[in-house]
Structure 1
Amino acid sequence: MASAEFEEKIYLARVAEQCERYDDMIDFLQILKQKTTDLTTDERNLVSVAYKNEVTTRRSAWRAISTIASNAKYEQYADVLKDYNDEIVDEMKKICDDIEIFCDDHFLQNAKDDESRVFFSKLKGDYFRYMAEVTTETQLKEYKDKALKAYSEAKEAAEGLLVSHPIRLGLALNFSVFYFEIMGKPKEACDLAKETFENAINAIDDMKEDDYKDAAMILQLLKDNITLWNAEFEDEDGDDRDGNEH
């Protein structure tokens, strides 16, 4: 891999981010598969931003179409709306498959420390969770199992990080959302969120400014989710409430 080519692709990925051309950004970042060393923090963040933006638009579209399809006055369009949503799910699957290949065949093999292992295992868990949101039956079970395995591996690796480390906190936040929204296990979700919050809240004061800001933001999201989920327990109607994620 020529150094000049690599630097050019990474530069173009940054330009594509500024242009909000996230599909192009992903294309440029394929050069990272040629690396035989661990990704830098900057490279990891580029991957996260590119794929997160691509999948977020599709998650939003899937939810919007599902809401429209649930309205009885649009019943005559049920079949075409389903076909449209199926197309979006296929696009999401392609993104998820790419993340899985990126992580398993490249990034996790080259991960040099617990921070990288947590980051990429969490990344897999997040995208399997996204797929579990939009699939049913056999596929749903498959993605639930994959997400649980990835998050559990990330949680194990996270034991080597400080309790206040932003990546460890982000993992706990998203893992607890997975327990609550996908697995239907509110107790496990609340227990994980509360334990993480209580362990970290007094440990962030001595952190560097940037890490402190990140940790404080995630702790606030954890606190908000705990409040939200506890309110649901007390809500006799039991309306679903989506938790905050990182």
Structure 2
Amino acid sequence: MELNLTQEDIDILNSSKGLKALLSKEPFNIEKALRYVRYEKKLKKLQVELIRLQSWAIDENERIIVVFEGRDAAGKGGAIRRITERMNPRQLRIVALSKPSEDEKTQWYFQRYVRQFPKAGEIVFFDRSWYNRAVVEPVNGFCTIEEHEIFMNQVNDFERMITESGIRLVKIYMSISKREQNKRFHDIVNDPLKQWKMTAVDKKAQKYWDVYTEYKNKMFAKTKDGVVPWKIIKANRKTFARVSVINHVLRSIPYDKNRKV
């Protein structure tokens, strides 16, 4: 296939990043290499804005929560890493809670999440959140029907209380296709550096795909009238998804865009 390369394209390919992108995978793919270098440049600009946002939050004693939900292997962790990798680690936290302890099981469901909420000037990123009870738990039999119903009846009020208390809440759902999820699971299983990511729940995700869809739709229907809407990000292409996620976070928080970094 003949490619019509501009001078800008040629300059990109002749740069160190361009050559690395072009030569790192076989067979060579010029279009993918160009796309990746442009993504890296775009990402850097967005990360500068994220630093501005964080500086504003620190100076103004803002409290921010960003919730990430989505199917297993949808890219939640990767998106969070791209958001936070240039930010001040002392003023942010990434929360990915394991299954509740015996004591936590006796408490109000939301209680262990509230303990992770931000202090003044802090941003907290939830890699899965209280919405475990909306989808993951009922699909896998980790909660009762009654517990699920109680959660669904309380979640909108819970988030109203969060926002009325002055916390800024952003909710992101990363959406992938069944075929893409299967491909990513295959890549994880065959990569010794990623095999630890594969859990017992992940192994059943393809089998339970339609059940996950049913509960996901119930979650969206119940929360559509809540105080904070979901932003659904199409995440089959990771680079596109990460840029879309960052853009949404930046649009959702009214930070000072002229702040120097």
Q: TM-score, normalised by structure 1?
A: 0.28
- Structure with the larger RCO, 1 or 2 (CA within 8 Å, 6+ apart): 2
Larger radius of gyration: 2
